A and B are shown apart, each in its own frame.
Chain A
C-alpha cells in the first residue's frame, strides 16, 4: 500500500512534467498540445543514439536530445501550428494528433520498433521509500519537476511571460504594444518542447522505452493532470500530476490487485478525469484565470 503510494508519487512526477508543458501551450495559445509527449520521445531517442550509439559522454547526449526536442518544437510551430492558426481548434487538435503519430512513425522508421534501455543519469541502487524501491533517477525527476514548475510559474510573472499571456488574450492588442505574435509563438513552442524533452530524458532511463512510449502511456494521464490543475495553473499541473500518479497506483492496488479488474490504472485516471470535469470543471486549483 505504502509502496504503491510512493510509486504513484514518482510516476506522477513525470505526468506533472508533461502537464506543465501542456499548460504552458494552453495558457499561451489555447491549444491542446497532443504532441507534447513526442517532444520527450525525440529527446530520448536522440540522446540514446548519441550516448549508446556513438559512445559520446552523457552530457552530450542530454544536450543533443534537448536540442532535437526544441528543433522539433520549432518545426511543428512553423510547419503546422502557424499555418493553421486561423482554423478551428478541432482541426488544430487533429493536426497535433497527426504530428504525434508522424513523429512516432519517423522514430520507428529511423530506429526500428525495438525496446531500448537508456543508462540512467546517476548509477546506484534504489532508495527504499515506504517499501518501494525508488531509483536515484526518479528522485532527480521529482526535484527537476518542482524546480521547473516553480520556474514556469515565475516566468508568467515576468514581463516576457505577461507578454505571452497578453498575446494569447488579444493578438492585435499585443501587436500594438510591440509584441510580435510570431516571436511569442516560437518562444512558447520552443519552451514546451524543451519541457517535453526534459521529461523524456528523465523518464526514459526509469524503464525500457519503445517508440511512442511518451504518447501511448503518459499523454492521457498528463492531460488529466493538467485538467485537474485547472488547465491554466502551473502549480496545479505539478500537484495534479502527483495526484494522478497516486490515484493510478491506488487504482492498481485496490482495483487491480484486490478486485482483479483489468486496466485498473487507466480506469482510475478516467474516473478521476470524469469526476473533475463533471463536478468541478475549473479544476481543483483553477480560478478565474
Chain B
C-alpha cells in the first residue's frame, strides 16, 4: 500500500516536472522568436510583419485546402482585393484602420464566397483551373480599375500615427496572426472541424450524418477569403502602397506551394514555412553578397531569383520524401510539447486513456 502511494507520488512529481519543462521550453522558444523584434531594429520589425502576414495567408490557404480539401490557385485575388479595399477605405474615405481591415476582410470573404458558389458545380482539377483564371482576371481587370485601385500608380494606404512605427505595426500583425490561430484551433476542435474532415473525405457520408455540405463548403471559402482579405489589409498598410503588380499570379502559386511545404493542417508547419518564404527574398541576397567568397558564376542579380528556385526545390523534396511537410518533421517535438510523450499517443482529441 505504502509503496503504491510512493510510486504514485513519484509519477505525479515526474509529471509536474515534465509539465514545467515543457512550459519552459515553449516560453524559451517564443522568447527566441521575439528576439529579432526586440533587438533587430526597424528592419527586423518590418520583416516580422511580413512574416506574420504571410503566415496569415498560409493559414487562409490551409483553411480551404487543408481543412475543406478545396484547391485555390487564385488566392492572390482575395488578398489583393482585401489590400485594395483597405487602401481605398484609408486613403479615399479617410476611415480609421479598424474599418479598413474590416472592409478588407469583408471584401475577401465576399469574393471567395462567389468563387465558392462556382466550386459547388465545378470540382477538383477544374476548380483549380477556374481559380487560376479568376486570379489572373482579377489581377488584370479589378486591380487595374483606376477608380478603385488608382491604376498603375497604385493606391496609398497610410498608417495611423498610433501604428506608424514599424514595431507597433509588427505587434498588430502578430496580434492578427494570434487571432487567426485561435480561430483555426477552435475550428478544428469543434463540430466545424469534424464536419470539414468528413466533407474532405467523403461528401456523401458527411451528408448522411447531417452535415450541410453545401453550407460548409461555402463557409470554408468565405472564411478562407476573410482571412486572406485581412492579410491583404495588413499588407496594404505594411507596404503603405498597393499596386496590381504585387499580386501577380505566380505569387498565388508560391503561396500554395508554401502551405504544402509547411504541411496541410499543421499550424506550426504552415507558420514556419510561410515565415521562411516571406523572409527568404529579403535576407538571402544580402546574406550571400556579404559572404567573403563569391562563387564566380553567381552575382547580385542571380541572388534575387534564387528564392523562388529554393522554394520549388523544397516543394519537390517535400512531396517526394515527407508529404506531411514541416508539420510531419516537427511532429515528435510538437507532440512532446503538448502531451509530454514523443511517441504516438493513444489519445486523439485529448480524452484520457
Contacts and interface: CB of A to CB of B under 8 A. Distances in A.
Interface residues of A, number: 44
B255 to A, nearest CB: 11
Interface string B252-264: 0110110010000
Given A94-B256, A98-B257, A262-B140, A105 B308 contact: yes
Given A112-B301, A223-B129, A263-B140, A83 B320 contact: yes
Contact of B312 (A102, A216, A270, A277): A102
Given A262-B144, A266-B140, A274 B118 contact: yes
A281 B122 contact: yes
B56 interface: no
Contacts of B257: 94, 97-98, 101
A278 interface: yes
Interface stretch (B93-101, B130-138, B174-182, B326-334): B130-138
Interface stretch (A85-93, A129-137, A152-160): A85-93
Nearest to A226: B129
A202 B49 CA distance: 45
Interface string B109-137: 00000000010011011101110111011
A210 B71 CA distance: 29
Given A105-B308, A105-B309, A273 B130 contact: yes
Given A98-B257, A220-B132, A273-B133, A93 B125 contact: yes
Nearest to A277: B122
Given A278-B121, A278-B122, A109 B309 contact: yes
Interface string B73-93: 100000000000000000000
Binding site secondary structure of chain A: helix
A118 interface: no
B316 A113 contact: no
A32 B140 CA distance: 24
Nearest to B259: A94
A109 B319 contact: no
A104 B307 CA distance: 12
Q: Which label, helix, strand, loop or mixed, suits the secondary structure of the B interface?
A: helix
Q: How many B residues are at the interface, by size bracket?
A: 35 or more
A266 B141 CA distance: 8
Contacts of A101: 250, 253-254, 257, 308, 311-312
Contacts of A106: 309
Contacts of A270: 133-134, 136-137
A95 B122 contact: no
A63 interface: no
B38 interface: no
Contacts of A95: 315-316, 319
B185 interface: no
B2 interface: no
A94 B140 contact: no
B328 to A, nearest CB: 14
Interface in B179-225: none
B130 A274 contact: yes
Nearest to B127: A277
A224 B256 CA distance: 21
A108 interface: yes
Interface in B128-175: 128-130, 132-134, 136-137, 139-141, 144-146
B302 interface: yes
Given A263-B137, A270-B133, A94 B121 contact: no
A84 interface: yes
Contacts of A105: 305, 308-309, 312
Interface string A97-129: 111011011101100110000000000000000
Nearest to A107: B305
A227 interface: yes
Contact of B141 (A80, A98, A109, A267): A267
A150 interface: no
A269 interface: yes
Given A97-B257, A266-B136, A269-B133, A102 B316 contact: yes
A185 to B, nearest CB: 17
Interface in A62-100: 79-80, 83-84, 87, 89-91, 93-95, 97-99
A273 B137 CA distance: 12
Contacts of A104: 308
Given A99-B312, A262-B141, 6 more contacts: A32-B129, A90-B125, A101-B311, A113-B305, A261-B141, A270-B133
Interface of B: 65, 69, 71, 73, 118, 121-122, 124-126, 128-130, 132-134, 136-137, 139-141, 144-146, 249-250, 253-254, 256-257, 260, 301-302, 305-306, 308-309, 311-313, 315-316, 319-320, 323
State the 4 A-B residue pairs at the shortest beta-carbon distance, nearest first: A263-B140, A262-B144, A263-B141, A105-B309
8 contacts: A32-B128, A32-B129, A90-B124, A90-B125, A99-B316, A227-B129, A262-B146, A267-B141
